[in-house]
Amino acid sequence: MPRYSAAVIRRRGAGCFLPAGSLHLLAVRTSICYKVGHVSGRASKAACTPVSPVSKEAKMSRNTEELHGITLLGNQKTEYRSDYAPEVLEAFDNKHQGNDYFVKFVCPEFTSLCPMTGQPDFATIVIRYIPDVKMVESKSLKLYLFSFRNHGDFHEDCVNVIMKDLIALMNPKYIEVFGEFTPRGGIAIHPFANYGRPDTPFAELARERLFKHDMQ
């Protein structure tokens, strides 16, 4: 890991004065600065408080048992399925179940087919979710999204199918899927679907996000 000067780190940390050699803590400390001491887009030095140390278990690399079931990552003989294949999705355990956090995926080259004409549709798919026990492995997600390439479905169907398949895989606390499809016939369609676990605060979050996700 490269060592930056104190001046460089100070600039990248938006006002956080961190000594050289503390770069591995920069992202964590900076996020706290913005959360606590955000003033006109800049963080105050007073807000740069130390974070709780990461547990020894969380810092350790994942062992073979924890990687059980992950078969696609690092596989040099990857098969790129070109018709809808939800079975390629793989999951791994969330090692940080004690705190809630968002995971975001952006797929700018999503392709599917119009079910009527067979012409290709192009979109940027954005997925955000709050994990519980299981998390989707990113290479399997890439292959899953690629499998829509020769799949005929409307834009709205694609977004809802993606969300439901990920719910079936992970059972997340919260998930949302947004599809920004390129215009066809002068009209762009941007479907949004989300889910929050019933009878939890995440159901309320889902309802609020659904009503406000695209307010102008």
Q: Which of 68, 78, 76 is nearest to 147 (CA)?
A: 78
pLDDT range class, residue 97, cuts 50, 70, 90 = very high
0.85 exceeded by pTM: no
CATH of domain 58-212: 3.30.1130.10
Give the pLDDT confidence of 103-112 residue by residue, as tens digits.
999 999 999 9
CB 110 within 8 A of CB 144: no
CB 44 within 8 A of CB 33: yes
pLDDT at 88: 94
Helices (H) and strands (E) in the chain, counts: 6, 8
Domains of the chain by residue range: 6-51, 58-212
pLDDT range class, residue 79, cuts 50, 70, 90 = confident
pLDDT at 149: 94
Give the pLDDT confidence of 18-27 residue by residue, as tens digits.
333 333 333 3
Residue 24, both tokens: 């591995």
Q: Within 13 Å of residue 200, how many CA atoms lie on the same side as its CB?
A: 11
Catalytic residues, by residue number, are 114, 121
